[in-house]
């Protein structure tokens, strides 16, 4: 393993984030807080408890998941797209690096940022609503696995994209709608039976359900199915990244 | 030394065999290039724009995938044993691609790490000082001029102490001062045992710097030769005679010699091939005496590499 190189890429990506720390941290914290004010405080006061949890607390895992997905994807996709755009990728390609090392550097940094943001927003949330974490180990597992998986996914988008607008398309048109329809603000069981069935093809439902289970012990689907799906997504994205580096897809002429 | 290295052809640090590159739309940028780079030499790859110089370098460095062929670097296959190969290569690319928001120090240190070397601030300092970048070490690259950015790219390539250095069009858009600095550094590196491959379409550059020259055009390497040998082989010489008295025209008796009379009628130029068995000088001088033409002075001029190059490319076309 070329650890010096992994460390160099990781450090470079983290310092790029550090330069814009204020906006990188402030904007997700602010938008999450706004969700709490709008959905938690205003609407939540008219909604009774969901499965024995106050509405404000109920939406925390979903909001966190939304944050993890969007931040992981945008950080990782931008991280690899930028050097492709400026041409500095030549250096990474000419360095004695295996695909795994490049991946560890870029994806590791993106996932780290998501995890840090997740923890900050978790702490912020606890200021608004009474919260508890029933299964801390599983909570951390989901937090880390989701961050890593969607950083990998973002990495793939950053290699696939050939313009800045394409970087935005998938998060905007797919991830955000799936997250909103995936039970961030409601339990699937509140939906009519047909929509419950339809919801089950949305993978984000499983992510949110598992994550919510680790907080409140309530879930729409079995936590093991959630975990298995997360691991399957992780394996799928890893395989795709491996193939990209093996063939040089879009990064080598 | 590993057995792999023992098997290495004596003297050659890079061996390129039948290397082809077909870009996506079906354009053949390299048409089966064979080339050996000798250990410790300065090799100039000379060719017009679009000849395939960058493509060749980028394949060796792992930036472009070859379509077929084989590259061996210090005994290692560049595709399967890419780690040792890339660790010993430094590349200064043609394009000025830099991380604009990084400082000179950070980006140079980053390069060293990327190439798997432990931190060594003393070495980075030495490289930056040699390139007159030391007082800019904390400057953001975005604030530097084009020439300075080029220096930063050289510093990045030297940060990991490469055994082989590729310089792709290193003096394109560079001021005289940097050019001088650069050649001094290149000679210094060569003296310390580094093999240097540079590409250029400036003939003077190849002429000034290289030990050997390869001429590439349209994806084909049309000649590889010691610089002096190339000049000798391909060189034509001109014999210039300063006449004692003005001539109005070349006398018909001398027509066979293809002489050129200068506009002022005071000098005659005779072009001859140094390779030819008989240069024709003796018979020219005899004929001149017969015609009663006397001269005050004579001199010879060698063809420049430029003329040779134009000749070669014309022949290949
Ligand atoms: N990524 C690419 N896709 C398609 N054609 C390319 C690509 N890169 C270079 N070429 C073509 O290959 C030829 C050789 O280019 P290059 O190696 O850059 O030449 P040089 O460095 O000698 O100027 C040119 O005709 C160029 O247009
Ligand atoms: Mg070029």
Percent of chain B with pLDDT strictly greater than 70: 93
Say what the pLDDT of residue B7 is: 44
CB pairs below 8 Å between A and B: how many?
83
Looking at residue A252, its pLDDT comes to 86
Give CA–CA dist B70/B26, Å, rounded.
Answer: 20
Q: What is the pLDDT of residue A223?
A: 96
- Tell me the HSE value of A166 on the side-chain side, using a 13 A CA sphere: 12
Least Cα separation, residue B81 to chain A (angstroms): 10
Best CA proximity match to A78, nearest among A159, A20, A15, A139 = A159
Q: What is the pLDDT of residue A142?
A: 97
Q: Does B116 sit within 8 Å of A4, measured CB to CB? A: yes
- Alpha carbon distance A105, A109 (integer Å): 6
Distances A96 to A92, A93, B70 between C-alpha atoms, Å: 8, 8, 18
User: Three-state SS for A96?
Assistant: coil
Distance between CA atoms of residues B46 and B221, nearest Å: 9
Q: In a 3-state reduction of DSSP, which class is residue A53? A: strand
The whole-number mean pLDDT for each consecutive block of 10 residues of chain A, a chain of 253 residues, reads 94 91 86 82 77 88 93 94 94 94 95 96 87 94 97 96 90 89 88 90 95 94 96 96 88 85
Instruction: Provide the terminal-to-terminal Cα distance of chain A, rounded to the nearest Å.
Output: 26
Is the model more confident about B305 or about B92? Answer: B92
CA distance A24 to A29: 9
Which CATH architecture group holds B237-302?
A: 2-Layer Sandwich (3.30)
pLDDT at B120: 97
Residues with CB under 6 A from ligand 1: A 253; B 23, 27, 29, 47, 49-55
Burial bucket for residue B222 (CB in 10 Å: 0-12, 13-18, 19+): middle
Contact between B82 and A96 using a beta-carbon 8 Å cutoff: yes
Mutation site for A-interface testing, chosen from B56, B106, B114 by largest number of A Cβ within 10 Å: B114
The residue extents of the domains of chain B are 237-302
CA distance A18 to A39: 31
Q: From the CB of residue A182, how many other CB atoms can be counted at a distance below 10 Å?
A: 25
- Ligand 2 centroid–CA B199 distance in Å is 8
What is the C-alpha to C-alpha distance for residues A184 and B170, in angstroms, rounded to an integer? 56
Higher pLDDT, A41 or B128: B128
Mean pLDDT rounded to a whole number for chain B: 89
DSSP conformation letters of chain B? --HHHHHSPTTEEEEEEEEEEEETTTEEEEEEEEEEEETT-EEEEE--TTSSHHHHHHHHHTSS--SEEEEEETTEETTTTHHHHHHTEEEE-SS----TTSBHHHHHHHHHHHTTPPP-HHHHHHHHHHTT-GGGTTSBGGGS-HHHHHHHHHHHHHTT--SEEEEESTTTT--HHHHHHHHHHHHHHHHTT-EEEEEES-HHHHHHH-SEEEEEETTEEEEEEEHHHHHHHH-EEEEEEEESS--SS--GGGGGG--EE-TTSSEEEEEEETTSS--SHHHHHHHHHHHT--EEEEEEEEPPHHHHHHHHHHHH-
* Residue A9 forms part of a structural domain: yes
User: Would you say residue B302 has pLDDT above 80?
Assistant: no
> Tell me, what's the ipTM?
0.89
Q: State what percent of residues in chain B have pLDDT above 90.
A: 59
Enclosing domain of residue A99: 3-247
Judge whether residue B187 has pLDDT over 50: yes
- Ligand 2 geometric centre to CA of A253 (Å): 14
Compute the average pLDDT of residues B11-15.
92
Each residue's pLDDT tens digit, A243-253: 998 888 888 88
pTM for the model stands at 0.85
Q: Count of domains in chain A?
A: 1
Q: Whose CA is nearest to atom 6 of ligand 1?
A: B23
Distance from CA of B83 to the nearest CA of A (A): 4
Q: Among the ranges A47-61, B125-139, B242-256, B267-281, which has the highest mean pLDDT value?
A: B125-139
Average pLDDT of the residues in B225-236? 77
* Residue A106: inside a domain: yes
The minimum CA-CA distance between B174 and chain A, rounded to whole Å, is: 20
Is A241 part of any domain? yes
- For residues B159-163, average pLDDT: 98
Q: What is the Cα–Cα distance from B295 to B176, expressed in whole angstroms?
A: 41
Band of residue B235 on the pLDDT scale cut at 50, 70, 90:
low
- Of the ranges A46-60, B40-54, B201-215, B251-265, the best mean pLDDT one: B40-54
Top-confidence residue, B104 or A50: B104
Average pLDDT of B4-32? 83
Tokens standing for B80? 């399967």
A19 contacts chain B (CB < 8 A): yes
If you measure from the C-alpha of residue B23 to the centroid of ligand 1, how many angstroms do you get, rounded to a whole number?
Answer: 8
Rounded mean pLDDT, B80-85: 96
Whether residue B2 has pLDDT greater than 70: no
Nearest CA-CA partner of B139 in B98, B94, B96: B98
**pLDDT at position B4, please?**
45
């Amino acid at each position: 393993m070329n650890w010096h190189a992994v460390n160099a890429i990781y450090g470079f990506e983290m310092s790029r984030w550090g330069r814009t720390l204020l906006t990188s941290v402030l904007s997700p914290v602010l938008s999450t807080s706004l969700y709490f004010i709008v959905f938690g405080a205003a609407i939540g006061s008219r909604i009774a408890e969901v499965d024995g949890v106050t509405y404000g607390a109920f939406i925390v895992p979903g909001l966190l998941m939304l944050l993890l997905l969007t931040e992981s994807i945008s950080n990782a996709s931008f991280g690899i797209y930028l050097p492709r755009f400026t041409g500095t990728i030549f250096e990474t390609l000419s360095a004695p690096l295996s695909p795994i090392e490049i991946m560890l550097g870029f994806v590791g940094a993106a996932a780290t940022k998501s995890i840090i943001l997740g923890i900050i927003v978790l702490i912020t949330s606890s200021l608004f609503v009474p919260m508890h974490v029933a299964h801390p180990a599983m909570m951390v597992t989901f937090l880390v696995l989701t961050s890593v998986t969607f950083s990998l996914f973002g990495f793939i988008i950053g290699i696939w994209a050939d313009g800045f607008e394409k970087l935005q398309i998938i998060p905007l048109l797919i991830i955000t709608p799936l997250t909103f329809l995936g039970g961030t603000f409601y339990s699937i069981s509140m939906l009519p039976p047909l929509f419950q069935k339809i919801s089950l093809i949305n993978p984000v439902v499983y992510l949110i359900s598992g994550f919510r289970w680790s907080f409140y012990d309530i879930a729409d689907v079995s936590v093991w199915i959630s975990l298995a799906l997360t691991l399957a997504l992780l394996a799928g994205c890893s395989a795709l990244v491996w193939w990209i580096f093996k063939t040089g897809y879009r990064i080598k002429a | 030394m590993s057995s792999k290295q023992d098997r290495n052809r004596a003297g050659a640090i890079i061996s390129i065999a039948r290397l082809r590159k077909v870009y996506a739309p079906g354009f053949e940028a390299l048409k089966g290039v064979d080339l050996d780079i000798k250990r410790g030499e300065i090799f100039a790859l000379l060719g017009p724009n679009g000849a395939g110089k960058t493509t060749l370098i980028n394949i060796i460095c792992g930036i472009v995938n070859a379509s077929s062929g084989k590259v061996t670097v210090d005994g290692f296959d560049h595709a399967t044993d890419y780690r040792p190969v890339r660790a010993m290569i430094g590349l200064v690319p043609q394009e000025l691609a830099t991380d604009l928001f990084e400082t000179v120090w950070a980006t140079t240190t980053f390069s060293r790490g990327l190439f798997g070397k432990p931190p060594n601030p003393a070495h980075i300092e030495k490289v930056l000082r040699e390139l007159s970048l030391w007082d800019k070490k904390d400057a953001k690259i975005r604030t530097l001029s084009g020439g300075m950015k080029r220096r930063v790219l050289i510093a990045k390539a030297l940060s990991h102490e490469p055994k082989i250095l590729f310089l792709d069009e290193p003096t394109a858009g560079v001021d005289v001062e940097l050019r001088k600095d650069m050649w001094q550094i290149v000679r210094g590196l060569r003296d310390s045992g580094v093999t240097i491959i540079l590409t250029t379409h400036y003939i003077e550059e190849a002429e000034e710097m290289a030990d050997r020259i390869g001429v590439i055009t349209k994806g084909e390497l049309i000649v590889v030769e010691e610089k002096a040998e190339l000049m000798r082989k391909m060189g034509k010489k001109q014999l210039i005679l300063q006449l004692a008295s003005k001539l109005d025209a070349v006398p018909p008796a001398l027509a066979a010699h293809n002489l050129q009379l200068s506009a002022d009628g005071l000098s005659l130029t005779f072009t001859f091939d140094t390779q030819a068995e008989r240069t024709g000088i003796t018979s020219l001088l005899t004929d001149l005496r017969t015609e009663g033409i006397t001269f005050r002075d004579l001199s010879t001029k060698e063809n420049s590499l430029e003329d040779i190059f134009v000749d070669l490319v014309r022949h290949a076309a």
